[in-house]
């Protein structure tokens, strides 16, 4: 219990520091948001009024205090562009990113752990060599380039190579503007973005699982299990995978930022209206409240994913219980 409280208060403190950092970072930047919002013909009194309406005329400490109070009330401010509350703008985008990232993360771990386990169990065979080349190459590829390669393959390539019509996959947006907007249409639009995110993620997880499994297979207790006549399957599941589980859990939490960061590019390339694309478009529109709101949301996710991993480790690894 004390462990949980200590971890929780640590996470909350960290979250507060991150919030403050983003607040001061945005205020420290050159350029005045008022100059973006005021029309060129605005008089000095108009500019002063806009400044006051944005609460930018108070001393920095006062601004910080008011902003902190609002954040505690769950108010992240109003978007400069759409004049809607930032929380509302984020609430529209989060489900899209969550669905895209969640499905991809799940597939990432299923395929990554499966491929890595096979490689680790058959280390230094030809199969392992081929898979190592593939995973290392995919791991090195930026997600936006991989996304464009897949688009090229399923549009340019599909017509050049004469793929059947079912394989000419939509490369942009989340639904067909002309056709029906049913679930199947959404699923077809999701194939390429999910595939991109899964490829990038699974390659990293497979690389890690391979070395973890290979190392565990060399342990003395694995040799003991084999010597006492345990089946190959029992050794791999009970002795190797269950020992790899705690580190895989940490990795799950640590790979969350990667998936989120990857989704910035994937959402931008494929035109999915998620948080990643919102972030990029807000940056170009100088919509600072939304940029700060999205950053805060990303940070919250990372911190609480790490916290969840820290709290879950004692559950899956009896050696860590105190």
Q: Is 321 in contact with 29 (CB distance < 8 Å)?
A: no
Q: Is 26 in contact with 291 (CB distance < 8 Å)?
A: yes
Residue 265, interface with another protein (CB under 8 A)? yes
Residue 38, interface with another protein (CB under 8 A)? no
Q: Is 187 in contact with 236 (CB distance < 8 Å)?
A: no
State which residue, 67 or 298, has the beta carbon closest to another protein. Answer: 298
Residue 298, interface with another protein (CB under 8 A)? yes
What CA dihedral angle connects 173, 178, 179 and 185, to 10 degrees? Answer: 0
Angle (CA) 310 316 321, round 5°? 70
Residue 82, interface with another protein (CB under 8 A)? no
Angle (CA) 145 151 156, round 5°? 120
- Select from 41-49, 67-75, 86-94, 134-142 the region that touches another protein (CB under 8 A): 134-142
Shortest Å distance, C-beta 238 to another protein? 23
Q: With CA atoms as reference, report the closest residue to 94 among 258, 287, 252, 300.
A: 300
Residue 22, interface with another protein (CB under 8 A)? yes
Binds another protein (CB under 8 A): choice among 119, 209, 243, 268:
268
State which residue, 157 or 273, has the beta carbon closest to another protein. Answer: 157
DSSP state of 170: -
Q: Using CB under 8 A as the criterion, which residues of the chain lie in contact with another protein when the complex forms?
A: 14-15, 17-18, 21-22, 25-26, 29-31, 136-137, 139-142, 144-145, 148-149, 151-152, 155-157, 208, 211-212, 247, 250-251, 254-255, 257-258, 260-261, 264-265, 268-269, 279-280, 283-284, 286, 291, 294-295, 298-299, 302-303, 306
């Amino acid at each position: 219990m004390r462990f949980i409280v200590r971890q929780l208060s640590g996470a909350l403190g960290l979250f507060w520091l991150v919030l403050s950092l983003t607040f001061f970072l945005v205020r420290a930047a050159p350029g005045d948001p008022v100059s973006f919002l005021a029309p060129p013909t605005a008089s000095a009194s108009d500019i002063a009024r806009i400044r006051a309406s944005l609460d930018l005329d108070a001393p920095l400490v006062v601004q910080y205090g008011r902003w902190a109070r609002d954040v505690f009330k769950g108010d992240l401010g109003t978007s400069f562009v759409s004049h809607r509350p930032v929380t509302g703008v984020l609430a529209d985008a989060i489900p899209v990113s969550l669905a895209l990232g969640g499905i991809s993360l799940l597939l990432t771990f299923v395929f990554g752990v499966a491929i890595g386990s096979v490689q680790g169990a058959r280390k230094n065979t030809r199969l392992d060599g081929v898979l190592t080349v593939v995973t290392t190459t995919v791991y090195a590829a930026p997600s936006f380039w991989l996304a464009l390669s897949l688009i090229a393959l399923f549009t340019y390539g599909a017509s050049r190579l004469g793929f059947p019509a079912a394989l000419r996959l939509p490369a942009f947006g989340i639904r067909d503007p002309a056709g029906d907007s049913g679930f199947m249409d959404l699923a077809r639009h999701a194939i390429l973005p999910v595939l991109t995110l899964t490829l990038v993620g699974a390659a990293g997880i497979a690389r890690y699982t391979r070395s973890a499994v290979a190392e565990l297979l060399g342990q003395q207790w694995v040799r003991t299990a084999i010597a006492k006549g345990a089946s190959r399957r029992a050794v791999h599941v009970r002795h190797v995978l269950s020992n790899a589980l705690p580190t895989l859990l940490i990795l799950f939490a640590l790979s969350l930022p990667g998936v989120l960061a990857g989704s910035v590019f994937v959402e931008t390339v494929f035109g999915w209206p998620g948080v990643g694309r919102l972030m990029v478009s807000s940056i170009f529109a100088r919509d600072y409240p939304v940029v700060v709101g999205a950053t805060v949301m990303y940070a919250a996710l990372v911190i609480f994913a790490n916290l969840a991993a820290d709290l879950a480790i004692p559950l899956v690894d009896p050696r860590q219980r105190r």
